[in-house]
Amino acid sequence: MGRIGRIHKNDKRKRRKLLCHPVGRPLKPLNHKPSSHGPQELFTEIRELQLPPSLSHWNVKSPSESQHIFFKIQEQCNSKQALTVSHTLTVNSDLSWSLAVYGHQVQCSPLFIGYERLTSNSLLSLLIKIDSFNMCPGHPDEHFIPMVKAKGGILLSQTESVSGMLDNSGLHCLNGQRYSETVRSSKCHILVQGIKCFECVKYRSTLRALYSKWTKQQSQLDQPINSPTNDRWLKPSEMRERLQEVRSKLKTAEKKIDYLKLKIKESHERLSIAVDDELHEGLGQIIMEHAPEIKSKYSPNSFHHLFWEQQVENMQKIPSQRRWHPMLIRWCLHLHMLSAAAYDAVRHVLVLPSDRTLRDYTHFIKSGIGIQNEVTMQLMKEANIDASEEWQKFVALSFDEIKIKEGIVYDKHECRIIGFVDLGPTNNHLAAFDNATTAQSSTIPVANHMLTIMVRGILTNLCFPYTHYSTNGVTAVELQCILNNMGKH
């Protein structure tokens, strides 16, 4: 009695000695007298029992008349560690008992059959048996612990019942290593004869599945590139991460493009047939032979007819002598604007105007900001103003502003830089005056919007893009000035 707080340094050695002793074998009666008494006498006997030296690491205490407690203190790893009670065996006056290991109640499992009611003899045997068991270490894997902590220390099953929990009540030993935290199944047996209890072994697959799901969720949260958050709400670190991801994606895409280009080039070299002069002549001959057939199939006013005629006619001429119908030029301009590369590819097969020829048409009028006399003349021509009736001259001005990419370019033909805000002379002067009076920066901002004004006939089909202005988001006052100026014209 009275061994509370005494720590035996050579406990391990003693226990090893005990473990050599088969658990099932009846012990030699130590201080034992044959017990043929009632429960009260037996309980008194237990209370007065002197533990043999082999069980001296068990301490005893009687908190009340009806309870007697045997407890063991956890072995200390270092002197700074606080003392912790590892095992507590409580014997009640009716000779029933309960066992707690690190605060976990051990259920009366098949391990303790035959120990339902204790006697002083079976008590010693029970203590030796408890000493012989290991504590189930659960799953102290490093990666499971943060997951369970993140989930509040418990794991729920699909039916929302607790299936596993974090245990940081004591030191858990697995494969010679000690862990202060572990994850165990809610059905864990706590004490085992082997290494790990059956329930914890079975629970590992569930734990793995939960971990896989959790890491997936975490990675989705951690990757700002996949999150739908707008760039402007990201932190600088997240922005950097997203930028890196985008760069790596771009790099991958570029590699893929290079690979596909190479493949196309290879297949082109492998499968294409070079058209030599002889073949060219043969193809020309076929076209000439079938020309009447094609001409008879399409009406003379159709584009197909015109297209065929132009092809046959220009095929026989050298490039400088080729002449083009305006309709064909219009079609080619349309095709060129859709895709310049596709137009180039089509020119390898069909006889079509060159880029230079098309440029003469697209650059007929010098493009510029604001009202231009050449454009006004063109509008008059388009509207056929001289021949039209008074009612045909009613027009409306419609305008729209679109977002454009910011940037400045140098126009080598006119020796000027294009890309700054330009709202016509009146608005520019007003803006300069405004800047001067409000002491703001006198630099002209780079435009990010394009304002286009169209002239539309109210009673005619006239639809003519008249002017455009580079803006930074036009204001009502600026727009009024522009429209007034246009009205005068």
Contact footprint for Zn ion (CB under 5 A): 136, 184, 188, 197, 200
Taking the least distance from each CB to Zn ion, the nearer of 145 and 395 is: 145
Identify which of residues 211 and 361 has a Cβ nearer to Zn ion in the complex.
211
The minimum distance between CB 90 and Zn ion, in angstroms, equals 22
Angle separating helix axes 340-347 and 326-338, nearest 10 degrees: 130
Q: Looking at beta carbons only, is 101 or 197 nearer to Zn ion?
A: 197
Closer to Zn ion by Cβ: residue 185 or 314: 185
- Taking a C-beta distance cutoff of 8 angstroms, is the pair 469, 482 a contact? yes
CB of 163 to Zn ion, least distance (A): 13
3-state secondary structure of 161: coil
Least distance to Zn ion, CB of residue 194, Å = 11
Task: Give min distance, CB of 214 to Zn ion, in A.
Answer: 21
CA distance linking residue 489 with residue 477, whole number of Å: 19
CB of residue 184 vs Zn ion: minimum separation in angstroms?
Answer: 5
CB of 179 to Zn ion, least distance (A): 13
Using alpha carbons only, give the angle 115, 118, 121 rounded to the nearest 5 degrees.
100
175: left (phi over 0), alpha (psi -120 to 50) or beta: left
* Contact yes or no for 85/57 (Cβ under 8 A): no
Give the span between the Cα atoms of 131 and 75, in whole angstroms. Answer: 13
- When the beta carbons of 69 and 111 are compared against Zn ion, the nearer one is 111
Q: How far is the CB of 201 from Zn ion (least distance, A)?
A: 8
- 42 vs 136, beta carbon nearer Zn ion: 136
For residue 421, the tally of other CB atoms under 10 A from its CB is 21
Cα atoms found within 13 Å of the Cα of residue 163, Cβ hemisphere only: 15
Cβ 191 to Zn ion, closest distance in Å?
9
Which contacts (CB < 8 Å, 24+ apart) does range 43-46 have?
Answer: 43/68, 43/91, 43/93, 43/94, 43/95, 45/119, 45/120, 46/91, 46/95, 46/118, 46/119, 46/120, 46/123
Closest separation in Å from C-beta 136 to Zn ion = 3
Tell me whether residue 174 or residue 335 sits nearer to Zn ion (CB atom).
Answer: 174
Backbone angles phi, psi at 101, to 5 degrees: -120, 115
| Residue number with CB closer to Zn ion (72 or 184) | 184
Using CA atoms, how far apart are residues 139 and 346, in angstroms rounded to an integer? 69
Task: Report in angstroms how near the CB of residue 14 gets to Zn ion at its nearest.
Answer: 26
Pick between residue 192 and residue 453 the one whose CB is nearest to Zn ion: 192
Smallest CA-to-CA distance from 133 within 9, 18, 3 is with: 18
- As beta bridge partners, residue 124 has none
Residue position matching structure tokens 């596909």: 260
Secondary element (H or E) of residue 430: helix 424-437
169 or 388: whose CB is closer to Zn ion? 169
One DSSP character per residue, 22-36 reads: -SSSPPPPSS-----
What is the closest distance, in whole angstroms, from the C-beta atom of residue 185 to Zn ion in the complex? 6
376 exposed, middle or buried (CB, 10 Å; 0-12, 13-18, 19+)? middle
> Which among 69, 86, 61, 91 has a CA at the least distance from the CA of 1?
61
What secondary structure does DSSP assign to 69-89, as a single string? EEEEEPPPSSTTSPP-EEEEE
Of 196 and 468, the one with the shorter C-beta distance to Zn ion is 196
